[in-house]
């Protein structure tokens, strides 16, 4: 049974949407580099402290999903539990990433579209809240933020021929589909929606410069820990 929770568009907080736009920028970068287009941003106290994208093809490493790539750079400066940190990611974390997020004690996860094949936040397995796991406390995971944009990025990627695949498939006859069905769970409880809005509003109050009046403007990148290829550079925090 699909247990993923989606927030209705009219109930989505502008602060959450703003950070998801930054995650989409990272996903676009992944697409430009022939990676599965997933991007993420980790936010604490209204500031991005880490951001990353998929690098599995680049480094021939199936574990280098965006979330794990960012966590590698995050942990030396932010020891667990990460209960005061929110992750914004364009696609629902897979089972592997959801498990890692629970182990480091992430506070909240906001994602774009569901992961129907490998989702670990309710679409396939409920790693985020399952009482069967004893690795740290559960975390809130809500989806639907720029869901259509995240889906279209994935479709654009799978329209192309993946030369890194063991047996690349010819896709010259494929047509990009633009019709997007509604999420599997269209009913969202008022308490879940209120909780998500309250969390986002709290983050906004800590950083008044990110007001709703500026929500449609590109958000600054200052104050982040940029993701870099392993073994090449020592990660340092950018100056705002």
Higher pLDDT, 172 or 98: 98
CA distances from 76 to 95, 103, 109, 137 (A): 24, 15, 21, 21
**How does DSSP classify residue 111?**
E
Per-residue model confidence (pLDDT) at position 121:
97
Using DSSP bridges, classify how beta strands 108-113 and 86-91 pair: parallel, antiparallel or unpaired: parallel
Per-residue model confidence (pLDDT) at position 133:
86
Catalytic residue among 28, 29, 34, 67: 67
Structure tokens at 71: 């966590």
Structure tokens at 190: 């008022």
- What mean pLDDT is reported for the chain? 80
Q: Under 8 Å CB-to-CB from 207, ≥6 apart: which residues? A: 45, 46, 47
Higher pLDDT, 225 or 16: 16
The CATH fold of domain 5-159: Cytidine Deaminase; domain 2 (3.40.140)
Neighbours of 1 (CB within 10 A): 5
Q: Is 67 labeled as catalytic in the residue annotation?
A: yes
pLDDT digits (tens, 9 = 90+) for 121-177: 999 999 999 998 887 899 999 999 999 999 999 999 988 766 666 676 666 667 778
Is the pLDDT assigned to residue 190 strictly greater than 70? Answer: no
Is the pLDDT assigned to residue 215 strictly greater than 70? Answer: no
CB–CB of 2/184 below 8 Å? yes
Per-residue model confidence (pLDDT) at position 136:
83
State the Cα–Cα distance between residues 75 and 112, nearest whole angstrom: 24
* Mean pLDDT, residues 39-53 taken together: 97
| pLDDT-wise least confident of 27-31, 47-51, 104-108, 234-238 | 234-238
Per-residue model confidence (pLDDT) at position 169:
64
Q: Which pTM does this prediction carry?
A: 0.76
Q: Under 8 Å CB-to-CB from 236, ≥6 apart: which residues? A: 225
Higher pLDDT, 232 or 89: 89
Structure tokens at 92: 């629902």
pLDDT digits (tens, 9 = 90+) for 82-91: 999 999 999 9
Q: Where are the domains of the chain?
A: 5-159
Integer-rounded Cα radius of gyration of the chain? 17
Is the pLDDT assigned to residue 229 strictly greater than 70? Answer: no
State the Cα–Cα distance between residues 33 and 21, nearest whole angstrom: 19
- The beta strands (E) that lie in the chain are given as 39-44, 47-53, 86-91, 108-113, 140-142
Is the pLDDT assigned to residue 231 strictly greater than 70? Answer: no
pLDDT digits (tens, 9 = 90+) for 49-81: 999 999 999 999 999 999 999 999 999 999 999
């Amino acid at each position: 049974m699909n247990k993923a929770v989606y927030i209705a568009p009219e109930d989505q907080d502008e602060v959450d949407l703003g950070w998801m736009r930054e995650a989409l920028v990272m996903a676009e970068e992944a697409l430009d580099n022939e990676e599965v287009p997933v991007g993420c941003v980790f936010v604490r106290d209204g500031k991005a402290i880490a951001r990353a994208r998929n690098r599995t093809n680049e480094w021939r490493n199936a574990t280098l999903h965006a979330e794990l790539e960012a966590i590698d750079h995050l942990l030396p400066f932010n020891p667990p539990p990460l209960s005061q940190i929110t992750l914004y990611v364009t696609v629902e974390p897979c089972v592997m990433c959801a498990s890692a997020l629970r182990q480091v004690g992430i506070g909240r996860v906001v994602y774009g579209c569901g992961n129907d094949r490998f989702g670990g936040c309710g679409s396939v397995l409920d790693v985020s809240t399952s009482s069967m796991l004893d690795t740290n406390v559960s975390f809130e995971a809500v989806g639907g933020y720029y869901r259509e944009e995240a889906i279209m990025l994935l479709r654009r990627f799978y329209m192309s021929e993946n030369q890194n695949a063991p047996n690349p498939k010819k896709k010259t006859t494929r047509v990009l589909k633009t019709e997007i069905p509604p999420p599997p769970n269209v009913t969202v409880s008022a308490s879940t929606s209120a909780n998500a809005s309250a969390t986002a509003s709290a983050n906004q109050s800590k950083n008044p410069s990110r007001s709703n009046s500026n929500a449609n403007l590109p958000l600054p990148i200052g104050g982040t820990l940029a993701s870099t290829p392993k073994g090449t550079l020592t990660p340092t925090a950018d100056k705002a």
